[in-house]
Structure 1
Amino acid sequence: MKVSIRQLQVFDAVAATGSVTAAANRLNMSQSAASSALTDLQIILGRQLFAHAKGRPLQITDEGKRLRSTIRSVLCTIEDIEGDRDDAPLNGQLVLGATPMVAETILPQLCVGFMRNHPEVQIRVESQSTMDLFERLSRFELETAVIENFPDVPGVELTPWRTDEMVLIVAPDHRLARRQGLAIGDLAGERWCLREAASSECARLRYLMHEQIGQLRVAFESTSNWGIRDAVVAGGGIGCLSHEVVRTDLEQGRLVQLAVSGFSYTRALSLARPRNISRGRLVAAFDRYLIENA
């Protein structure tokens, strides 16, 4: 017996979903056929690729993990071959991951620009936390994610993309809105509207402020950047958001940026991709477009 493409597809789908039934549904085949294909593959390779645990999803074994990047690369290559020649128009659906700030500001315009160049492409952006995106990348559910910079993660390749400036903002009638010569110490005791405490941007802001003004007085907390923006516009206190999020509000006077001496907060953004796999034409073309338009 020889390894078949269908067996590799079943392996890849089971690894992504943790279930033979879910893999069969994804591949539009019967559960019994998917189970047989996986069993045959394990027999041909002479190794167990998944471990069974009662009541839990199938767990990929170390042997399966070692094979996964190779199998994913093979399937990507086959998809490209089936897509005909290298100069054929790009088509299909591209699923991207992004952290909320990127998904809500920078990425949509870039996606539209790419689709304008490639009308047969559809793009879906899924917004999640950095750690959730890393988990999905490790399962090869995503081929590209755009995230805030992060320390090295096994199995994930990070490529520097662009920087993002975080700014302090208040409503126009806030008592500090028109103050000149502000220092960080002048913010002591003020009410804040911030992202959840576990978010990377909030953690770093607290670190930057703590030495001079201690613990921040958080009056409003949200997992949504736009929720923070709306709370600040309504007069809820000081916010700290990406300049991309509030650019229009600052230009139109709905918000005021505080010029605080000694405050500087920039973040590096990166493209996160599974390491050591061949990438299909579509996702590789989109990655190049992002980098060229950083």
Structure 2
Amino acid sequence: MRNATIRQLQIFSVAANHLSFARAAERLHLTHAAISLQIKQLEEVCGTRLFERIGKRVFLTEAGEILLDHTRQILQSLKEADEALLALKGLKGGRIAIAVASTAEYFAPGLLAAFRETHSEVRIRLLIDNRDTVIRLLAGNEVDLAIMGRPPAELDAIAVAFAPHPLVIVASTGHALSSLARVSVEDLANETLIVREMGSGTRSAMEEFFHEHSIKPRIGMEMGSNEAIKQAVIAGLGISFISQHTLGLELSAGRLSILKVEGTPVIRRWHIVRHRNKHLSPVLAAFWSFVVESAPAYLSRLV
């Protein structure tokens, strides 16, 4: 292993976390051929195969699993060394990698802009993806922190709730229910619902809401994008259960209406999350404190 390079270990770590050379190429902005070559050279150094393909799926071999564990330790040590050296320069030299669940993309850039007002030289990398990918990025130490709704129970993490997260039911302004002063949950039983994909925090909250009212929702369409859902609702294809923090433009333009359904808004919480073993450098600690202390007031202006 003395002949393995840091670059090879970095590429191996990303490929192993995603179990896909194509995803690794996308993440690292390299070609598929370049990823394959680096992995092949690393396997030659190790003297054994690190990946195996069974059917259409890629798996780590036992050797690959062992190497991945050590690779994570090596890369984490290098990162901590880098952060310790940067800390000698104070916050000016710091950097942060943040992943946010897709619903949080409507406020996360604004929060980062507010943070940068007092920490202008901090380098920030923002990744926006679905809940499962955000959790995987945290687990693989590819990001430092995450902002999401429901904390990941499957990850040994520290999560702090920092602001209310209201979820509402919306319809197009021309929908018959939009003009009602009060809408019962039973009134929604025959409505077509346009919903987020399975596994998303919004989908879980929606299912819990209808289950509590003993209503089986009639799901007509499933989409992985809040923007696509909003456009479908505006077009009259159905109604939706969605985060109120995603609705600013559509509400102000009069294109969507929040239905006055009993028991709504459903209030959940936004969380900032890190792996329990994650070392908080000065800049990460500053951002963590900023979100906990300043985000509630910022988000209150969005509803």
TM range (shorter): 0.7 to 0.9
- The Cα offsets for residues 155-175 of structure 1, whole Å up to 9 and x where unpaired, read as 333232322000111122111
Q: Counterpart of 2:194? A: 193
Q: How does 1:16-31 map to 2 (within 5 A)?
A: 16-18=14-16
2:101 to 99, 102, 106: 99
Aligned residues: 274
Task: Give TM-score scaled by structure 1 length.
Answer: 0.75
Among 82, 85, 95, the residue aligned to 1:82: 85
Q: Does 2:110 correspond to 1:109?
A: yes
CA distance in 2, matches of 1:210, 1:84: 50
- Contact kept, 8 Å, 1:196 with 1:223, in 2: the verdict is yes
> Percent identical across equivalent pairs?
21
Q: Look up the SS of the partner of 2:117 in the other structure.
A: helix
Q: CA offset at residue 245 of structure 1?
A: 0.8
Cα distance in structure 2, aligned partners of 1:88 and 1:242: 34
After TM superposition, give the deviation of residue 207 of structure 1 in Å.
3.2
Structure 1 unaligned blocks of 5 or more: 40-49
Change (3 A) 1:248 1:127: same
Contact 1:74 1:278 in 2 (8 A): no
User: Any idea what the Cα deviations from partners look like across 1:3-23, whole Å, max 9, x if unmatched?
Assistant: 9xx97786566434449x989
Distance in 2 (CA, whole Å) between partners of 1:138 and 1:176 is 43
Indicate conservation of the 8 Å contact 2:135/2:152, yes or no: no
Aligned-residue offset at 1:31: 5.8
How far 1:100 sits from its partner (Å)?
Answer: 0.7
Structure 2: state its 5+ residue gaps: 31-36, 296-303
Q: Quick check: 159-168 or 202-211, which moved more?
A: 202-211
Residues 84, 231 of structure 1: alpha-carbon distance in 2 compared, 3 angstrom cutoff: closer
User: C-alpha offsets along residues 182-219 of structure 1, whole Å, 9 cap, x if unaligned?
Assistant: 21112221122222244332233133224646322233
Distance 1:161 1:69, change over 3 A: farther
C-alpha distance in structure 1 between counterparts of 2:188 and 2:91, whole Å: 57
In the superposition, the TM-score normalised over structure 2's length comes to 0.73
Measure, in 2, the Cα distance between the counterparts of 1:207 and 1:155: 25
Secondary structure in structure 2 of the residue aligned to 1:110: helix
How is 1:93-242 mapped onto 2 (pairs within 5 angstroms)? 94-103=96-105, 105-210=106-211, 212=213, 214-242=215-243
What is the root-mean-square deviation of aligned Cα atoms in Å?
A: 3.7
What is the alpha-carbon distance in structure 2 between the residues aligned to residue 177 and residue 234 of structure 1? Answer: 14
CA contact (8 A) 2:196 2:223 kept: yes
CA contact (8 A) 1:152 1:158 kept: no
